[in-house]
Amino acid sequence: MYRVVKVLNNNGVLVYDMKRKEEAILLGSGIGFGKRVNERFERDENTKRYAIVDRDEKQRTGRQVLNGMDPAFLEMAGKIVEMAGRKLGELTPNILIPLADHIAVAVERMQSGIILKNPFHGDIRVLYPEEYQIAKESQGLIARETGCMLCEDEVGYITLHIRAGRMDEKPEETLRMAALMKQVTVMVEEGMGLKLDPDSFVFERFMAHLRYLIARIHNGEPITLDMDQYARSQFPNSYRLAEKICGVIGREMGKPVPKEAVGHLAIHMERLRL
């Protein structure tokens, strides 16, 4: 059973979930039509429920965001979350308000002629291709709803929100991971004297391996195949660079890096020369 706290518009209602004893947002066609404050009702299966989660202390709470936001942006964010859920699997509903808030601010920036540069845009596109594709489709949806076409930099930021919803982490953490991958890429290019093409299959293959390696380190998963001795003897220069890079990864993540990771990274770095 739900109690109406605030009618956002015909398709959105802020409610109090009497079973879970918490506030939530319900989105669905016509759900807000004719509703009154304190009215109690049950939702049907076509209505989507989204929790309101407080952010970090330095940021606004979900309620504060709602009070200053055009509810149309909540509907847009809800459509994006649904679209991503159909293609990627269910996302955590906690991203609804942060995503809607970001879209609202991004549209306001674009309409004012302000572009917030995203230095990791290219890396985000390669690191999270599935999420990026959803963000590109979202770009069109937002343009149809608002008449404002967001720039590619903003597509990258929306990608981070979708990725965060998929992994149930904060967008800042996803961005931190992208920054780490960028740092590693620069170290590889400088250390090996290469200029990597971000649109090449070789680069995408390397980034996929690096993403997988970092995920295993983050989760503390062992690397069963030990290629350390082979990589050390066959590719000594790449091995030394891989040791340095793994040291950086370990420090940035605050996690121990198994020695097996060094050998694997060195071998994949050598494949960049092919």
What's the full length of the chain, in residues? 274
User: What is the spatial order of strands in the sheet that 22-27 belongs to?
Assistant: 40-41, 2-9, 12-17, 22-27, 48-51
Q: According to CATH, where is 1.10.1790.10 located in the chain?
A: 52-169, 173-273
Task: Give the torsion through C-alpha atoms of 245, 253, 154, 92, to 10 deg.
Answer: 140
DSSP 94: G
24 has which bridge partners?
A: 15, 51
**Is the pLDDT confidence value at 56 over 70?**
no
Tokens of 130: 């599935």
Supply the pTM of this predicted model: 0.71
Per-residue pLDDT band at 55 (split at 50, 70, 90):
very low
Superfamily of domain 52-169: PRD domain (1.10.1790.10)
Closest CA to 31 of 18, 44, 17: 44
Encode pLDDT of 123-180 as tens digits. 888 888 899 999 999 999 999 999 999 999 999 999 999 998 887 777 788 888 888 9
- The topology (CATH level 3) of 1-50 is Transcription Regulation, Sacy; Chain A (2.30.24)
What are 208-250's pLDDT values in tens digits?
Answer: 888 888 888 887 887 777 788 899 999 999 999 999 999 999 9
CATH number of 173-273: 1.10.1790.10
